[in-house]
Amino acid sequence: MNVDARSWLFTPGDRPERFPKAVASGADAVILDLEDAVAPDAKPRARRSVLAWLAQGHRVWVRINDRRSGYWADDVGALASSHGLLGVVLPKTESAADVEETAALAGVGVVALIETARGVENAGHIARAAGVVALALGSADLRLDAGLGDDPLAWAYPRSRLVFAARAAGLKGPLDGPDMQLDDALITRVQAEQARAAGFGGKLCIHPRQVSAVNEAFGYTRGQAAWARAVVSAAEHSHGAAVRVGGEMIDRPRLELAKRIVTAEQEK
């Protein structure tokens, strides 16, 4: 279960021919979707397709339908015994109980997708719920629910609330909502860079073309990697004292950042 993934790619659960393409896209995590990407009359078929894919030994995440929908119980019940299920993404999470009941019945960790004003206000409780592994911002639905516009200032509060709720609960930075522009990788890259600067740990994607831009934005440049290696090397001989590297005084927080970068580069 890789909750350190940068890019999380949604793929409609009723389009099994797309599953292999999603896995080959370079996304760190693939989410087979049973919710918004699937029409109501296609949900049973999508559930069967997802279960068949899992039964073949594939390891993916699944976005189920929300706890207050008429599909949630069937989704959770069907997935509970599935091998290869890395975890579930729970849309419209509004309370710790939403997460805890889902995790208990599904038997896997839950990415809590925050898509309503109530969910934003309860982010701290949700982040501390038993079974939660990450928070995620459902920007499209939140925009509708809260009446938010495009001005970045309108999004400062919900975005910061999720970031601080996640970190205070010991979780990684939350996942940013997807870029709805499918054909401009530059926009996706800029949005992902802004999300990372705001404290997010990854980003949801709705098209394979977005994956590389997100991975690059949440990765490290060659210069950053070289700096990190130099810092870690210098610290090995400092006996715990602050060190000077390239004219910069390296204290404990900067050393920890350097170690994080080195580890991330080694895991590529």
In a domain, 121, yes or no: yes
Residues 15 and 135 in one domain: yes
Residues 203 and 116 in one domain: yes
Given pLDDT bands bounded at 50, 70 and 90, which one contains residue 118?
very high
Residue 127 has pLDDT above 60, yes or no: yes
Residue 37 has pLDDT above 70, yes or no: yes
Query: Judging by beta carbons within 10 Å of its beta carbon (0-12, 13-18, 19+), is residue 152 exposed, middle or buried?
Result: exposed
Count of domains for the chain:
2
Is there a contact between 37 and 45 (Cβ–Cβ < 8 Å)?
no
Residues 152 and 32 in one domain: yes
In a domain, 87, yes or no: yes
User: pTM for this structure?
Assistant: 0.86
In a domain, 1, yes or no: no
In a domain, 104, yes or no: yes
Residues 147 and 226 in one domain: no
Residues 150 and 209 in one domain: yes
Residues 182 and 256 in one domain: no
When the pLDDT of each residue in the chain is averaged and rounded to a whole number, the result is 91
> What residues make up the domain containing 246?
222-266
In a domain, 2, yes or no: no
Residues 200 and 236 in one domain: no
Is there a contact between 152 and 179 (Cβ–Cβ < 8 Å)?
no
Query: What is the structure's pLDDT at 4?
Result: 74
- Pairwise pLDDT comparison (41 vs 241), residue with the higher score: 41
pLDDT in tens, 173-182: 999 999 988 8
In a domain, 75, yes or no: yes
Mean pLDDT of 44-70: 96
Given pLDDT bands bounded at 50, 70 and 90, which one contains residue 222?
confident
Residues 142 and 75 in one domain: yes
